């Protein structure tokens, strides 16, 4: 079953360029309902308001970072599907996020195929 057309995805990154890149990848993969947030606090509010099926969450953001926002979103919905977005040198932080409840991660710079595969796999998971 494909969730792409109907799935709502929240893209969270403090860099607007990275949000554009992720949105382009998701749109090219068939996702149509995409919401954005530029920081962790806004991400938590957007999660409460839009109840997305999946969140892509940058780890390094000023203010409320991705790990803090992940914790808050999981308090709202322990079953939330969050994919962390990281740079290559953040393996220990990714491991922490997975232990907290993130479902997977993708690495910057993005490989379009890997992003689409991870997002679809997480959406299909229970």
Q: What is the pLDDT of residues 56-107, one digit of tens each?
A: 999 999 999 999 999 999 999 999 999 999 987 788 899 999 999 999 999 9
Asked if 35 and 52 count as a contact pair (C-beta separation under 8 A), the reply is yes
Please report the domains of the chain, with CATH numbers, ordered by start residue.
8-115 (3.40.50.2300)
Show the DSSP H helices in 3-111 as ranges.
16-28, 40-50, 66-76, 91-100
Model pTM score: 0.94
For residue 57, the SS3 value is: strand
Band (28; pLDDT cuts 50, 70, 90):
very high
What pLDDT shows up at residue 4?
61
| Mean pLDDT taken over the chain | 94
């Amino acid at each position: 079953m494909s969730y792409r057309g109907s799935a709502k995805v929240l893209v969270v990154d403090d860099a607007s360029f990275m949000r554009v890149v992720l949105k382009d990848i998701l749109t090219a993969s068939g996702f149509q309902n995409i919401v954005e947030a530029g920081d962790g606090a806004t991400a938590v509010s957007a999660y409460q308001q839009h109840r997305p099926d999946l969140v892509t969450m940058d780890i390094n953001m000023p203010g409320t970072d991705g790990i803090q926002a992940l914790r808050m979103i999981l308090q709202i919905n322990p079953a939330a599907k969050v994919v962390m977005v990281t740079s290559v040198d953040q393996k220990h932080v990714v491991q922490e996020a997975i232990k907290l409840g993130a479902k997977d991660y993708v690495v910057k710079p993005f490989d379009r195929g890997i992003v689409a595969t991870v997002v679809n796999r997480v959406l299909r998971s229970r």
